[in-house]
Amino acid sequence: MPVISAPQEFNEDDLYVDLEPVLDQRLFLKCEGFNFAGSIKLKAAAAMIGAAERSGRLRAGSVLVESSSGNLGVALAMIAANRGHRFVCVTDTRCNLATRQMIAALGGRVHLITEPAPTGGWLRARIDHVRALCAADDRYVWLNQYTNPDNGLAHYRTTAPAIAARFPALDVLFVGAGTTGTLMGCARYFRRHHPRMRVVAVDTAGSVTFGDTPGRRMIPGLGTSVRPPLLDTSCVDEVVHVPETDTVRTCHRLARRGFLFGGSTGTVVSAATGWLAERGHDGLTAVAIAPDLGERYLDTVYHAPWVRDLYGDDALTDAEVPAPRPVRAGHGTDGT
């Protein structure tokens, strides 16, 4: 076992769950929640903070600020505490209470946005608040995960090579799309080193990232109300949109077999099972990325009254998850 002196030094990067006994489909799930930040966002947080420190942007007396739906906020709060930086996380009311409490426990401050912007929704409102903080006080340093190249580079250098090493004959990779940092880092790596391998982006129904019609989204993690500047759809082979009811059903289906994963994982697994079922999945080697675990979703995705209030009783049934609709992004298109 390793001996560490900083929490960001530990990350279990080589754990996969064979979901065939659970789903009756050949699918391997790369688990990214086994670190002190509890999610894949540790990689992006460490890369962005490290680059800001090396460039001199982030120094003694600076106040780190970032807009986050939750997991990146926890990762930044953890590293900021270890490095001696102050941190402000700007989030909104969809962020899980447990996540907000974790950020506060780590010494960060949480600014909670309670109203979406008329155009651009919750994300635009959060970004506007960050910009206002930075304009009012030059001590604030915004890493801007939505445009920061280190967000994607972290996964180009770590996540994608780890998958390629474990599965040299990989046929298809399913990656959730939020800021698209994980997606772009992995997609660019495989496009360069394994061009015949397919990358399928997974988005939440109601997200505008790939040109879908805007709609209500209550589970944080994936999807956006503003198209991410990092996104390059020429690196993506297909896009699958998943309704949140299917996210909930898949999370519960996995939990009934002892695997408690977060909402983003439920979305990605739902997309992967639908995609594989549609194609027969004969002989394909498929990997899906699980960004986090499920403890932070106990009062939402795994809380029956919350689910019923938002999605009705059908979301809690044992019915099989219907196949999500695939949308071909195509090379060199804008994904719309």
Q: What is the pLDDT of residues 135-183, one digit of tens each?
A: 999 999 999 999 999 999 999 999 999 999 999 999 999 999 999 999 9
Q: Which domains does the chain have, with CATH numbers?
A: 7-35+149-328 (3.40.50.1100), 41-142 (3.40.50.1100)
pLDDT of residue 335: 38
Mean pLDDT computed over 43-57: 97
pLDDT at 333 > cutoff 60: no
| Closest among 319, 324, 285 to 173, alpha carbons compared | 285
Percent of the chain with pLDDT over 70: 93
For residue 327, pLDDT over 60 is answered with no
Q: pLDDT for 204-237, tens place per residue?
A: 999 999 998 899 999 988 998 889 999 999 999 9
Average pLDDT over residues 76-99: 95
Contact between 67 and 48 under an 8 Å Cβ cutoff? The reply is no
What is residue 336's predicted lDDT score, i.e. its pLDDT? 31
Cβ neighbours of residue 160 closer than 8 Å, sequence gap 6 or more? 185, 186, 189, 190
> Residue 296's pLDDT is what?
93
Q: What percent of the chain has pLDDT over 90?
A: 83
Q: What is the pLDDT of residue 279?
A: 83
Structure tokens at 69: 């739906």
Query: Where residue 64 falls among pLDDT bands split at 50, 70, 90?
Result: very high
280: pLDDT confidence band, cut at 50, 70 and 90? confident
Q: What is the rounded (10 degree) CA torsion for 69, 75, 78, 83?
A: -120
d(C-alpha 330, C-alpha 78), whole Å: 38
